[in-house]
Amino acid sequence: MLYLESFTLPDMARQEFTLNNMPHVESNVYPFKLFTENIPTLEFAPVTILYGGNGSGKTTILNLIAQYLELGRSGPYNKTKYFDVFKMLCSAKLAGEDERFSVPIPADSRYISSDDVFSRILKTRRDNEERDLRLNEESRNWRHDIQKLRLNTWEQGGYEKFLAHRNALRHNPGSYARSRGVSERVREYSNGENAFLYFTDTIGETGLYLLDEPENSLAPAMQLQLAEFLRASLELRTQFIIATHSPLLLSLPGARIYDLSSSPVRERPWFELENVRLMHDFFMHHHEDFC
């Protein structure tokens, strides 16, 4: 499925013209001057991958697309006061625009980064810590209600405390805490399990999803599981634009790959990319160990 057909960054001449006509330009004009060469219009497939070394601009392009299309996102992103100016110099073409019947971007579409996964992990830990504090508090209340009061007198506090004592008798500390609104402890998975669950929970059957280095925290076996999940999702009404270093994700069948490290930027097959060749050469060098 295609929702976004292409995205165009401003060429260097237009960037220079814009900066020269802005007053009091500062030294940090990111994302201006990030790309030292003109990047061709990025033409998208159902799954498109942005590949390149650190600092090549993969995440910046994803952020520009996400903000240009006003996609949902969970966290902040790297920007300066020049980011929105640069964004307005970009252009996007939705699928079907040439036929004057563009396909709308579904509301569920969103940008997903590895930071979102870590935020979820931290939130789970905070929720569990708060739950443990509440549990300790309610356990003290239970001990007070069951030990410090007597059934045969109301002089210790009247009818309300009498009922509290009767209620405590019907519970153990755990069920007493639950009866007073203390939730069950959320299971804390490993970072990799949390990452995989976050992607499978967040990616729906319809939408344009921008994934920023989804392999972070994932062991190779789980990267393969994610690749299979993404491949299966393509059979529904989804489109993916992925920034990744992972050879296992780069090998997604039918993926269009842009090598942002090449000069000029161009499409390349996954088996020609430096990361993949490094892994290939490493295992070939040690091939006798696998015999």
Model confidence at 26, in pLDDT bands (50, 70, 90)?
Answer: confident
Model confidence at 60, in pLDDT bands (50, 70, 90)?
Answer: very high
- pLDDT at residue 128 tops 60: yes
Q: What is the model's pLDDT at position 117? A: 78
pLDDT in tens, 188-204: 667 778 888 889 889 99
Q: Of 272, 196, 279, whose CA–CA distance to 230 is shortest?
A: 196
Q: What is the model's pLDDT at position 153? A: 47
Q: Greater confidence, 118 or 173?
A: 118
pLDDT in tens, 234-267: 988 999 999 999 999 999 999 999 999 998 999 9
- pLDDT at residue 148 tops 70: no
Q: What is the model's pLDDT at position 176? A: 58
Is 125 strand, coil or helix? Answer: helix
Which whole number is the average pLDDT over 143-160? 57
Q: What is the model's pLDDT at position 2? A: 92
The whole-model pTM stands at 0.79
92 within 8 A of 6, measured Cβ to Cβ:
yes
Share of the chain above pLDDT 90, in %: 51
Q: Of 234, 229, 232, 276, whose CA–CA distance to 251 is shortest?
A: 276
- Rounded to whole angstroms, how far apart are CA atoms 277 and 200? 30
Q: Of 30, 33, 27, whose CA–CA distance to 15 is shortest?
A: 33
Model confidence at 183, in pLDDT bands (50, 70, 90)?
Answer: low
Cis peptide before 31 (omega within 30 of 0): yes
Give span(s): CATH 3.40.50, the chain: 4-108+206-290
Model confidence at 164, in pLDDT bands (50, 70, 90)?
Answer: low
1 within 8 A of 238, measured Cβ to Cβ:
yes
Q: Of 167, 230, 165, 226, whose CA–CA distance to 204 is shortest?
A: 230
Q: Would you give the distance in Å from CA 261 to the centre of its chain?
A: 23
- Rounded to whole angstroms, how far apart are CA atoms 211 and 65? 12
Q: What is the model's pLDDT at position 185? A: 58
In CATH, the number for domain 4-108+206-290 is 3.40.50
- pLDDT at residue 159 tops 70: no
Q: What is the model's pLDDT at position 263? A: 87
Which whole number is the average pLDDT over 88-97? 90
- pLDDT at residue 72 tops 50: yes
Q: Greater confidence, 98 or 261?
A: 261
**Residue 258 β-bridge partners:** 50, 267
Q: Of 68, 8, 86, 71, whose CA–CA distance to 44 is shortest?
A: 8
- pLDDT at residue 272 tops 80: yes
Which whole number is the average pLDDT over 281-289? 90
Which whole number is the average pLDDT over 32-43? 90
